Structure 1
């Protein structure tokens, strides 16, 4: 609800609209326009001194950077970039489901043969070490030194590992947006660094 002078309210109505139905509608044109801009941004090459091949943000980093910019701007011409809460949550849940389904389909064919082989056990052990040791260190420092609460620590570690399923579990357990806020704070930088560093290491 807006409170103010009548002239100011008229200006706010022209800029924001004054129809409850429109506030509850999902503007798919804005979503797909943002995705298209993100894909184009991900294809732009960036030359880094000392490396022969250019670096690109790709299909993951490009849409992420564009989404951050559009979310900050709020609108792009006539397109409003804010989603209704229910639509936001539905798209978020659908994305996590599709992500997990894709991982299962890709790894399911040879999962048991790989895991129960000698080489597979070595990879599982190394994976556990690489995953757990940094998480325990970050969690301890954030909790004891930084004084962060448990929900923020969960969101921080989920974002640092770029792990949407972990965020979904933490949000379901917390029943609040605290983990998601901490996740969103560190996720963009972590994702971009992973994309860029992977290309740099491949050239090294």
Structure 2
């Protein structure tokens, strides 16, 4: 007779989802695969059948992944910002405006209620601050808030998968030479090495750099928890993803703080990122899967069509703008769109496709801009 303790059962479910996810992710169709992002898809199924995990698990995974990405991209961040900063800001604005216009079209032409359409948009953009801003805009109506949540619940998992597939499909459709594209990203980043300190010896608090990871996460969460009021609009915060990302970038760029060496061994960063993805995808997937079928059956599958349009119109137009107008390298354009639509899973997929974490500095540049944009956009759309 098989007897498993409840805590052990949770661990079993977690790693069973991960194992099945890697199996699904290894399957290729026309050279495209989901990779570790397939864990999210498998978790959706498990979530539908009642499997759930503590919210802290998902948050832990997210901060492990995003802080590790920041640390590894830190050395190239300043050069990337100096070279393409204006283009990234304009791309974020364009992405928010184009999505807003589609959302207004869904409201006006398709007759979808404004709160539901706004929920679809926040799910399509996978933006938690935008979702919170949309709910706040209708705080006086429980029915409207429920519609926002329904739209977000429908589109969050679908929007995530669409963007993961997008960043994998584009290089193949363009027939990209990935070695050439990687060289462009590295050249554009103008990676700077930490300056020497004139012979003074630095010391490390631990040999591998786990102190730096822990400090980046702790300080990042504190930074992300700071709420900045936006008079007449609402409030803004970096949250648990933006905060650790920026602190990780700062530590990765500096390389040391006074006599303390804060570098992290490269052989540690990659496993930590992958573990973070396992935790994040299982938590987010099971959470989304719990209500996905119920919401679709209640509101109709046609909402998915509108939601998918809300994903692909800004993505496609924004990427075309990055290439034709701003002349950004392909990988920088894809990273800018991942950041502009605040999607960490598509960044993870892009890192796998690109074979370099240099793209993360572009994501980090556009991400906080996109967060502010979406908070403001939700307040404007509420009055449409």
In the superposition, the TM-score normalised over structure 2's length comes to 0.41
**1:154 aligns with one of 330, 334, 348:** 334
Of 34, 59, 63, 2:240 maps to 59
Aligned partners of 2:373 and 2:359: how far apart in 1?
A: 21
Shift, 1:86, TM fit? 1.9
Aligned residue number for residue 308 of structure 2:
128
Q: 1:3-49: CA deviations, max 9, x gaps?
A: xxxxxx8943614x6xxxx7x93232332223222233333343444
Cα distance, 1:129 vs. partner? 1.2
Distance 1:150 1:65, change over 3 A: closer
1:34 lines up with 2:221 in the alignment: no
Q: Deviations over 1:152-172 (max 9, x none)?
A: 222222222222222222232
Greater CA deviation, 164-173 or 55-64?
55-64
- Trace 1:41-120 onto structure 2 (pairs within 5 A): 41-50=223-232, 55-76=236-257, 79-115=260-296, 117=297, 119-120=299-300
Q: CA deviation at 1:135?
A: 0.5
Residue aligning to 2:87: none
Q: Distance in 2 between matches of 1:92 and 1:178?
A: 15
Inter-partner Cα distance in structure 2 for 1:10 and 1:39: 30
Per-residue deviation, 1:192: 5.1
Aligned to 1:25: 207
Q: Which residue of 2 aligns with 1:6?
A: none
Paired residue total: 188
CA contact (8 A) 1:61 1:192 kept: no
Aligned counterpart, 1:174: 354
Mind listing any 5+ residue stretches in structure 2 that lack a counterpart? 1-195
Query: Is contact 2:236-2:372 (8 Å) kept?
Result: no
CA offset at residue 134 of structure 1?
Answer: 0.4
| CA separation of 1:147 and 1:198: change in aligned 2, threshold 3 A | closer
Tell me the CA shift for residue 144 of structure 1. 1.9
C-alpha separation in 2, matches of 1:146 and 1:54: 31
What's the CA shift for 1:131? 0.6
Q: Distance in 2 between matches of 1:50 and 1:35?
A: 32
Deviation at 1:55, TM superposition (A): 4.6
Task: State the alpha-carbon separation in 1 of the partners of residues 200 and 291 from structure 2.
Answer: 58
Query: After TM superposition, what 4+ stretches of structure 1 lie above 6 angstroms from structure 2?
Result: 198-201
Would the aligned equivalents of 1:153 and 1:179 in 2 still touch at CA under 8 Å? no
CA distance in 1, matches of 2:316, 2:363: 17
- 1:38/1:64 contact within 8 Å kept: yes
CA separation of 1:198/1:64 partners in 2, compared to 1, >3 Å: closer, same or farther? Answer: farther
- Structure 1 contact 96–164 (Cα < 8 Å) conserved: no
Query: Unaligned regions of 5+ residues in structure 1, if any?
Result: 1-8
CA distance in 2, matches of 1:48, 1:82: 36
How far apart are the structure 2 equivalents of 1:168 and 1:192? 22
Identify the match of residue 164 of structure 1 among 344, 351, 354.
Answer: 344
Supply the distance in 2 between the matched residues of 1:160 and 1:188 (Cα, whole angstroms).
Answer: 9
Normalized against structure 1, the TM-score is what? 0.70
